[in-house]
Chains A and B, each alone.
Chain A
């Protein structure tokens, strides 16, 4: 059974770069799309983007200039970098595996998420 576990710094200062990782265990990373999704306090979920097993990426346009998602297949990890963070980037960050069906992703499973707070 595939399991995902996120890790993050907990606290990041404004204008710095947020780094979050996701360890994948119990299954292969190939043939899937690896997503980051976040939930800010009091708000709904927000899709950030994905990386596929060839390294191709697709991002939410509103975050595209600041985000990078990458993959380490040998280490079974997925990474999220978000630069120039502000308080609005405070959120629980989730990693989710995407399976493609008829051109559309289905997110399953997810990790438990890691809370990242942006504050000085």
Chain B
């Protein structure tokens, strides 16, 4: 069982916006602004797309945005495109013995 809870799948139509949630506790997401999001296409390396809740690395599309409220972080993909079909994982720093925790992963389907 993953430390952070994500929906198994989220679907949206081309051009729409979708939001993926990531729920933790006050020892991880709720306690720190160190939430990251990763995108993974089948058979490919995971790619960092959001760090420190809402920051995008250079080269990542502005269609990806992150936010946090309490113990839940969210990733929003706006203007959904076919290349956004992938698995998305959240991650957070944790003040428990397991320093870095991850989510269960969400598969995004573009209809």
A binds B: yes
List chain A positions with a Cβ less than 8 A from chain B.
4, 37, 39, 43-47, 58, 60-62, 94, 96, 101, 104-113
Q: A44-B89, A45-B91, A60-B98 are in contact. Are A112 and B43 (CB under 8 A)?
A: yes
B residues near A44, Cβ cutoff 8 Å: 2, 4, 6, 89, 102-105
Q: Which residues of A contact B62 (CB under 8 A)?
A: none
A37: B residues at CB distance < 8 A? 102
Q: Are B34 and A46 in contact (CB under 8 A)?
A: no
- Residues in A neighbouring B51, C-beta threshold 8 A: 106
A43 touching B48, Cβ below 8 Å: no
Which one of B32, B57, B100, B102 has the highest number of Cβ atoms from chain A below 10 Å of its Cβ? B100
Contact B100 A47 (CB under 8 A): yes
A47 with B36: in contact, given A61-B97, A108-B57, A112-B43 (CB under 8 Å)?
no
**In angstroms, how far is the closest chain B Cβ from the Cβ of A27?**
15
Interface string of B90-111 (1 = CB under 8 A from A): 0101000111111111000000
Q: List 17 A-B contacts (CB under 8 A).
A: A43-B1, A43-B104, A44-B89, A45-B2, A45-B89, A45-B91, A47-B98, A47-B102, A58-B99, A96-B46, A105-B100, A106-B48, A107-B38, A109-B45, A109-B48, A110-B38, A110-B46
Closest B residue to A58 using CB positions: B99
CB distance from A42 to the nearest CB of B (A): 9
Are B45 and A61 in contact, CB atoms less than 8 angstroms apart? no
How far is A46 from B104 in the complex, measured between Cα atoms in Å?
Answer: 9
Cα–Cα, bound, A104→B100 (Å)? 9
Contact with A along B31-48 (1 / 0, CB 8 A): 010101010000111111
